[in-house]
Amino acid sequence: MAPPHPTSLVFTVRRRTPELISPAKPTPRELKPLSDIDDQEGLRFQIPVIQFYKYHPSMKRKDPVKVIREALAETLVFYYPFAGRLREGANRKLVVDCNGEGVMFIEADADVTLEQFGDDLQPPFPCLEELLFDVPGSAGVLNCPLLLIQVTRLKCGGFAFALRLNHTMSDAAGIVQFMDAVGEIARGAAALTIPPVWERHVLNARDPPRVTCTHHEYDEVADTKGTIIPLDDMAHRSFFFGPQEINAIRRFLPQHIRCSSSFEILTACLWRCRTIALQPDPSEEMRVICIVNSRSKFNPPLPRGFYGNGFAFPVALTTAEKLCQNPLGYALELVRKAKNDVNEEYMKSVADLMVIKGRPHFTVVRSYLVSDVTRAGFGDVDFGWGKPAYGGPAKGGVGAIPGVASFYIPFRNKKGEEGIVVPVCLPAPAMVRFVKELDKMLKDEKSVAAGEHKSTFITCAL
């Protein structure tokens, strides 16, 4: 008999009372302002991460809860701002009150084995809210723990490490750096390979602030036709893109842009399929927001060890009609241009805009946000039990408006193919159309064989 589909898996988690873990030694008591990139409205939310680890014979006598709890207290000596609380000052400026109150920690046990989750460990995970419990009163942006961590022992001897981060504190690269530090100390290191660097002032607004670049990501767009995605009847699905799938999409591109990165190709494809699936008014403006890491765009680059938010939200935009009726190359050129706009001047211009405009949220109306975490390093975090069977964002569609965001997560499927898994969150009827469009792109060989360059594989659904 085939095992039950993992999403129908139900299990019980027994949790101990949540506790606060403070730094193992006294730490500086001070106020540390966040950068003007960190404290924008669009980052004032909690982001969930989950790592699953298999049983490891060499760790037979070690308890992952005890190992991680102790390593966490030691790591917080170096990363003491995480043990503090956010306060809001004049002009909505966020500051960390480094008071050593601690991060929230939950010890738990689940009556389930890692095998029961199925061969392909990928979001959405069953009973996620059990593996990452939302402690009542803990999820606020201000005056709440900046990290919540739950370590759940599994029946097979493996465990789940789930973390919820206040996004204003760190981006993917930053939180992985912190988790790596916990891992190093858990494995017996006395010092960290990469000491943390605060340096948030590098990403502060200039004096006087001046917006020098175009930032469509912060346009004020009225939601005239109610196209912000509804929250009820949402379908969550994950899609795997290995070399074969990326090459299938690449076939539809003109020669001169076929060498584009997998990120660019996938983003153009998903943006287009998603727009067709949502069936917007043809004249409506559709946006895709690409998260671009700017650490290397500075001269000199941001210091190694910097764990703040170091990215921008550049936007590509066009009408629904142009996006759906033009070949895929049209969307791809727009995505490439948006990504290439990000440089040091662009980041300074964003910081200045935040101060001038009161830290606005990026535009979510008719927007799709994609974040590539394939190089963030979630899959390498090792607490002593080796690399995780899965590591990365716990679900797609997180943020202020569910359904707007997708992550690109590195993944090896059960055939052993390395690729990218993308969790997508859409209203149920749109998800059916989305899958249909995507299937057409991945399967349609006929128009290619006939030498047609026009993308006949999608009949416009507008």
Q: Residues 264, 268, 274, CA angle at the centre, nearest 5°?
A: 140
- 152-170 mean pLDDT: 97
Please report where in the chains the tokens 């941001």 appear, as a residue.
302
pLDDT score at 218: 93
Which helix (H) or strand (E) covers residue 46, if one does? strand 46-53
- pLDDT tens, 249-307? 999 999 999 999 999 999 999 999 999 999 999 999 999 999 999 999 999 999 999 99
CA-closest candidate to residue 43, choices 394, 424, 371: 371
pLDDT score at 442: 92
Q: Extract the tokens encoding 444.
A: 């349609």
- The Cα diameter of the chain in Å comes to 71
Q: What is the rounded distance in angstroms from the CA atom of residue 280 to the CA atom of residue 235? A: 18
- 347-358 mean pLDDT: 96
Distances (CA, A) of 80 to 64, 104, 241, 289: 22, 14, 39, 32
Residue that wins the pLDDT comparison between 426 and 414:
426
Percent pLDDT > 90 in the chain is: 78
- Under the banding of pLDDT at 50, 70 and 90, the label for residue 462 is very low
Q: Are strands 367-372 and 405-412 parallel, antiparallel or unpaired?
A: parallel
- pLDDT tens, 96-147? 999 999 999 999 999 999 999 987 788 878 888 999 999 999 999 999 999 9
Cβ atoms of 65 and 53 closer than 8 Å:
no
Cβ atoms of 283 and 318 closer than 8 Å:
no
* Residue 167 among the catalytic residues: yes
Work out whether the CA dihedral 287, 349, 198, 302 comes out positive or negative. positive
Is the pLDDT reported for residue 186 higher than 60? yes
Please report where in the chains the tokens 């799938």 appear, as a residue.
245
- pLDDT tens, 425-435? 898 999 999 99
DSSP state of 9: -
3-state secondary structure of 409: strand
Cβ atoms of 328 and 455 closer than 8 Å:
yes
**Among 38, 167, 341, 352, the one annotated catalytic:** 167
- Under the banding of pLDDT at 50, 70 and 90, the label for residue 445 is low
* Residue 5 among the catalytic residues: no
Angle between helices 243-250 and 428-443 (to 10 degrees): 80
Is the pLDDT reported for residue 359 higher than 90? yes
Cβ atoms of 192 and 78 closer than 8 Å:
yes
Is the pLDDT reported for residue 234 higher than 70? yes
Q: Which residues contact 173 (CB under 8 A, 6 or more apart)?
A: 293, 295, 307, 310, 376, 377
Q: Extract the tokens encoding 226.
A: 């109610």
pTM for this predicted structure: 0.89
Q: Which residues contact 90 (CB under 8 A, 6 or more apart)?
A: none
Bridge partners of residue 87, in order along the sequence: 95
